[in-house]
Structure 1
């Protein structure tokens, strides 16, 4: 978040240069994303201005540059298309209300300290998701490049040799072949846009162009609520909020790795949320942290939030004084830029190593990719995260089950010498159930099964010396074991219940179901009691 400490002579020069450089990189992408979304080039430009400004003012990552990006644009295309089809009168207004609602959700994510949870997504899900977005953006650019959408596309000689297609393909070649060392001085996208515009002006060829951007500031639009679209609006807002959050926090992590600083995830979400609320109110696309533009700003000298604020101001100045010249930019060059982006964000490195990774990870990545393309991004993420978490829980449960030992004196190697002697003196009439480590809900079934398969004619001592956390589900399992033993008239004891575990037990009044004289502070006390009982 911007403060007076960010204004000083040492950083302001770097912030100005970083803002100028990132502006040069950002402009072609803002135009491209705006045109592709169907909301117009100005929607992408003002997204870069508004989200860039407010995310820098109120965010938690000093060098973050925010604006429109691939995933959010793909989602917005689907939202606009769906809403206009269902409600022709209110569809567009409802779509931009969704952007503001998504910003509100993001603010709530930050206020309730949820930022750290959004980056706990398994890599195969992220890989499949981003690769799916790459495929979607490529498919969306087929019509601007070739004049036909995928179902109608038939590549013929006339299609491939049309001026529009040749220009787009030439720009695509430039984007791929432009040397990296030159990109630090002049980005390939600027070369492509400049070259395509000059060609259009002097060739006199007829082809679709972006159109002029009005020098007037965008008008304020009151949010609307359409009951027909209510459920879709909430679902879409959550999708936009999640995508923006993931993009922003992943970019923040990239900044951390370069600068060795630590961003504030929750403050970042508040800043991004405010930016998206304002963007929706002025008919702009939703935005989030833009990794390439942020890294460009960082490498060019940007070190404080002032660079992001200046970035937004520079774009606004260009639009107000030179917006009319976008009327000469061919749509084909923007399609080439986005096609290049789509190809670049597909996780080719992971795809090349699919045969080396575990089958489940490979399947999870591919299924997330396919669902992103065939169904929608929400379904892909939810199903991917659900499956990944299920497998993770199962694996953790298997590890935790290894920490549950049901043993007699001969098997109790973890006990001290006095404890082993006491246990051995009872002629295997006592079973020791040792629970160690954190025990989550996935262990409950295995816990009950291990006890039920044992000799229940023996006294059971449940030892919690090494247990530091027992979830509610496992607490219920222990409760059922206690009740089962008590109903059979068998003795059951508890030892070494720490305060945290006791708090879990107290929630379900578990300790009320066992005699107070059978609850001991230490394992040694419990074994001493049992030994004395056996002798009497």
Structure 2
């Protein structure tokens, strides 16, 4: 019983946040660096949390709550020393679609399901699986997400009058085109000026005062002044603000509330929840890898997933949207001297202070200013160089990238990620099949290679005996390459008495290939013939041993190399000849 418990524990990740180790030997000097870094990141995150909340189709307070609650938990329970968590652009399109289709309560429950999935992924040590997501898939949906963000900001950027903007791609395009005649030129001027400031804001100042904060504060002051009675008579800013579109952001601590949702929709939420979990895992672990390179550290990917899981489960209980580790805010944290997760905690506390003290002022923030900030974020997010490199990429990889990109833009991330991964898997199978080669050589000197290019068996110094055939496999013997094995094995074996299956160059094997070998062994056994396994090793050896196939073949017929396999084949041939000859006649000379 104890042994079983120990085995289970060894298969599960240990829950030990990076903060626990970081606080050992924590000093005043580290705290001051964390404090300054956290305050700076908090300033950067303020506009992004509000803007991403608005872009996701939820109240702006939901973005702030996510930054406060989710950001705090990501830093406190995650597996990276300097990771900063909060709302991310990757979720904008999916959340807008989910909110429009199922409503905010179901969206919050979907986020909680994603949190459970993330925690389970970390607990089961699946953090390393991030490396199995192909680059064309990540680049495809990243560019698709960027386009989605840009599309969501067309309406506030131009001040278009659309009563209910559709979340789907084609209906949204139709609605934007139909509303083209309602452009608000005051809004356009604010948007263009904000975008110009963001583009020209000096990098040397960004470390202390980000351009996004300058744009938001300037727009807020302008809108606030226009509301004063002594100014309104001669100057009125005719543009939408957070207050006119969503009302005031409530001041005070976010309240705990279990989301009410439709249980009948639970099956519909699993797919989007899985997509949110996958996106969160990809974003957070990529951000952690980038952070490791900047600070020469090593994050705990499984702990990071568990921390992200807790954050995404708890954040919706306070009205927050999904959170993940974000590269831009994490990099800002590092550049400003962050030492430990305390910096990320300070960033969340700063957002909380702003919510408690200055929440009423947020109603004056122009949506045009936020649109400019998010357009800048979306443009920087897209990996546009991938389109220029398409002609230089293999056609299969280019197809995976384009399919993922188009499906992300036109449908949703659930479909895009699913189809992208399936296409990438098919491409992988195709390439494995192309690299796997099967060759045969018999005692009469005939050779039959399914893929030409290999010479004779240089290990042999003598001619194969008649009745012996060698099947040699180069590469991975997986289900995609099983047809090549079938093609060679179909060759008539009427004169074959011993088959040597040369496996020294087999790098991996799956159940399909094992099934083919089991069928070959059964066929040979029925006809009084023999199978010799030559040089099986590592994964293929242990797989055959576990399946009992090595016992079926017989220990004496599993040989380490080709010369010993041929020697064993001669022994089997001699034994067969002796059996056919029968016992010697009485009185015959021995």
Superposition TM-score, scaled by structure 1 size: 0.91
Alpha-carbon distance, 1:464 to partner: 3.0
Compared with structure 1, are the counterparts of its residues 516 and 24 closer, same or farther at alpha carbon in structure 2 (3 Å cutoff)?
closer
- Match status 1:322 vs 2:345: no
Residues of 2 paired with 1:292 and 1:6: CA distance? Answer: 28
- Match status 1:310 vs 2:346: yes
Picking from 417, 420, 439, the partner of 1:405 is 439
Deviations 1:187-233 (A, max 9, x none): 11112112212222334313221233222211211144523211112
8 Å contact 1:6–1:305 — kept in the other structure?
A: no
Alpha-carbon distance, 1:525 to partner: 3.2
Picking from 190, 207, 229, the partner of 2:213 is 190
8 Å contact 1:448–1:481 — kept in the other structure?
A: no
Alpha-carbon distance, 1:281 to partner: 0.7
- Match status 1:200 vs 2:238: no
Partner residue of 2:6? none
Picking from 540, 545, 559, the partner of 1:501 is 540
Compared with structure 1, are the counterparts of its residues 276 and 437 closer, same or farther at alpha carbon in structure 2 (3 Å cutoff)?
same
Structure 1 window deviating more from structure 2 (520-529 vs 151-160): it is: 151-160
Deviations 1:46-105 (A, max 9, x none): 111111111111100110000001122322111111113xxxxxxx32221221221111
- Match status 1:2 vs 2:25: no
Note the residue ranges of structure 1 that are not aligned, 5 or more in a row: 85-91
Partner residue of 1:120? 132
Partner residue of 1:219? 255
Partner residue of 1:373? 409
When the two structures are aligned, how many residues end up with a matched partner?
A: 522
Partner residue of 1:76? 95
Deviations 1:220-263 (A, max 9, x none): 11144523211112222212111111110111111122222221
Picking from 1, 10, 14, the partner of 2:33 is 14
Picking from 21, 42, 59, the partner of 2:78 is 59
Structure 1 window deviating more from structure 2 (516-525 vs 357-366): it is: 516-525
Superposition map of 1:248-397 within 5 A:
248-397=284-433
Superposition map of 1:365-514 within 5 A:
365-399=401-435, 401-402=436-437, 404-408=438-442, 413-416=456-459, 419-421=460-462, 424=463, 426=465, 428-435=466-473, 438-453=476-491, 456-458=494-496, 459-467=498-506, 469-498=508-537, 500-511=539-550, 513-514=552-553
- Match status 1:33 vs 2:74: no
Residues of 1 paired with 2:39 and 2:555: CA distance? Answer: 73
Larger radius of gyration: 2
Tell me, what secondary structure is at the counterpart of 1:2? helix
Partner residue of 1:171? 194
Partner residue of 1:153? 176
Compared with structure 1, are the counterparts of its residues 226 and 455 closer, same or farther at alpha carbon in structure 2 (3 Å cutoff)?
same
Partner residue of 1:97? 109
Residues of 2 paired with 1:117 and 1:447: CA distance? Answer: 30
Alpha-carbon distance, 1:516 to partner: 5.6
Tell me, what secondary structure is at the counterpart of 1:355? helix
Tell me, what secondary structure is at the counterpart of 1:205? coil
Structure 1 window deviating more from structure 2 (478-487 vs 110-119): it is: 478-487
Compared with structure 1, are the counterparts of its residues 228 and 289 closer, same or farther at alpha carbon in structure 2 (3 Å cutoff)?
same
Alpha-carbon distance, 1:40 to partner: 1.2
8 Å contact 1:74–1:133 — kept in the other structure?
A: yes
Tell me, what secondary structure is at the counterpart of 2:242? coil
8 Å contact 1:448–1:478 — kept in the other structure?
A: no
Tell me, what secondary structure is at the counterpart of 2:24? helix
Alpha-carbon distance, 1:136 to partner: 1.1
Residues of 2 paired with 1:126 and 1:425: CA distance? Answer: 52
Superposition TM-score, scaled by structure 2 size: 0.83
Tell me, what secondary structure is at the counterpart of 1:186? coil
Superposition map of 1:519-534 within 5 A:
519-520=558-559, 522-534=561-573
Alpha-carbon distance, 1:10 to partner: 3.9
Residues of 1 paired with 2:29 and 2:362: CA distance? Answer: 36
8 Å contact 1:102–1:238 — kept in the other structure?
A: yes
Compared with structure 1, are the counterparts of its residues 518 and 244 closer, same or farther at alpha carbon in structure 2 (3 Å cutoff)?
closer
Alpha-carbon distance, 1:522 to partner: 4.8
- Match status 1:137 vs 2:149: yes
Structure 1 window deviating more from structure 2 (447-456 vs 64-73): it is: 447-456
Residues of 2 paired with 1:213 and 1:47: CA distance? Answer: 14
Note the residue ranges of structure 2 that are not aligned, 5 or more in a row: 1-17, 166-172, 227-235, 448-454, 578-590
8 Å contact 2:275–2:417 — kept in the other structure?
A: no
